[in-house]
Structure 1
């Protein structure tokens, strides 16, 4: 019997607990760190790598991915979708600038209710979506990297230049957080065994992360990137293939050690399936209602703090 693919993730946790290099990090929380990792997930049969050793809030992960695809950088639109994972950074900036110890809830309510306040305090700078959809070159021209990848997949699917990234050196100092998942590359191959009417090509995607919070980030990033690969494959009339995830510095925060031990002690359950319920006219047309995840039966969620 094949080993459950989630053990790739649990192996990373175990490696960090046993051999991670203990260090003080940017946040001051401290981590166990290691360098260089890879996980591979075959999603060709609709398998969705939403990890099962604790509940992954896959709708939140996909909503964030859809937000990136809009090119927006303000948390107001995320909060309207009840996604709060980006509030910590603008909230900290507001508290430092004003000295007001406002609660997160009150801050989010002001962002939602007051467009001018949101404009001033809710923007994250030129983060992911801005670089994906509106990369500004030295001549002032904007580049839509997502549209370029999709066009290349349609016209020259053997290209080795089908990638997009967010590490814009000239704008890093303006970002609330420099991009962690920074490079996405696509690759096509023959869809062997495809029947009549089935896609001739299979689309795989490699995601490279320069920095990864293994406890909280990895489950989220794997779910979101699998959704992205599924969307792009549908848009270019290909079958989803393999999701390949790679990390540079992957680390476990010292306040996540108990969670890691709990996860390692749990036995993975079968991955759920992901189905797109419709095909929008373009990559810009997807909504959270288009994603159907079935047979997801994870172990209970484990609460853990985010290091800002």
Structure 2
């Protein structure tokens, strides 16, 4: 009789074969199905519980302008790109996000405020105070040294700050064959000060001999229903910006994950999404070239041909 491990290896092999054929969104849907059918169910940090698998990969060809914006549910791609632009500006306070109508980071500071003050304030009221009161925002809207801080102002032991993004752009231009074109956010010394340790930890880049920029992004942990669709859009937008700044063309985007999971309160939504047929991925392009990586705005991105199924609502696990 074949062992459970052998059967799991067969499932993993089948998953890889399916992911290589058909619609590229099939990779995402197959991962979701794989988690539902084979995931290890366990208690997690949030207390909600997850069904989890370890190790996942997907590949997307961006060379013709196609963007991996999931179609089996509506993804608010502008929100994802606004978040990425906030990271690039080194942002760590949700006030700037909220003023741009991005609410995806509010849950963590709101939970901290309720816990430390005992005030049962609702999210709308909390966000209004963050937007309108700079002092309140400075105290309660700060997330700590999260992505933006590490990407743009990594603090060395001598106190010197390192701008990983600026260095990456320089290397892409001056030494595109380098194997050291990467940045990451897992600063061990500052993890305890972060509202949430970085999930999409490492971005590495590779330039082909014909001038195409490839990206590999690794996530240590990914909420497949809610987080992953946003992560795919943000990483794609970043790859496009970097390629433009370095006079390159976008190539392949390779996504990898460690712990890929569905929260137990997302299982019904995942099953609903799996009943839907994927539609053609849209095209994304940049309509302007700023002087530097710091100059991009949401209006610089144009998406054509996005025709998704309806949105699927689910709660964020905090």
TM-score range (shorter-chain normalised) is over 0.9
**Is residue 219 from structure 1 mapped to residue 238 from structure 2 by the alignment?**
no
The whole-number CA distance in structure 2 between the counterparts of 1:121 and 1:14 is: 39
Aligned to 1:44: 63
* Match among 269, 276, 280 for residue 279 of structure 2: 269
Alignment of 1:157-306 (within 5 A): 157-191=176-210, 201-306=211-316
1:30 pairs, out of 41, 45, 49, with: 49
Q: Return the offset for 1:72.
A: 1.3
Superposition TM-score, scaled by structure 2 size: 0.93
Structure 2 portions without partners, runs of 5+:
1-20
Equivalents in 2 of 1:80, 1:111: separation in Å? 9
Cα distance in 1 between the residues matched to 2:123 and 2:227: 21
Moved over 2 A (4+): none
Match of 1:53, SS?
Answer: coil
- Once the two structures are TM-superposed, the CA of residue 264 in structure 1 deviates from its matched residue by 1.2
> What's the RMSD between the two structures over aligned residues?
0.9
- Answer yes or no: is 1:72 the counterpart of 2:82: no
Deviations 1:94-130 (A, max 9, x none): 0111100001000000001110110011000000000
Unaligned runs of 5+ in 1: 192-200
Tell me the distance in 2 between the aligned counterparts of 1:233 and 1:177: 29
Alignment of 1:76-95 (within 5 A): 76-95=95-114
Match of 1:307 in 2: 317
* Aligned counterpart, 2:3: none
CA drift of 1:136 comes to: 0.2
Distance in 2 (alpha carbons) for counterparts of 1:253 and 1:83: 23
DSSP-derived class of the 1:184 partner: strand
In 2, distance between residues paired with 1:117 and 1:222?
A: 33
Aligned residues: 299
Please list the CA deviations of residues 217-248 of structure 1 after superposition, one character each: whole Å capped at 9, or x if unmatched: 11110011000000000000000000100000
1:133 to 147, 152, 155: 152
Q: Kindly state the Cα deviation for residue 190 of structure 1 after the two structures are TM-superposed.
A: 2.4
TM-score, normalised to structure 1, is 0.96
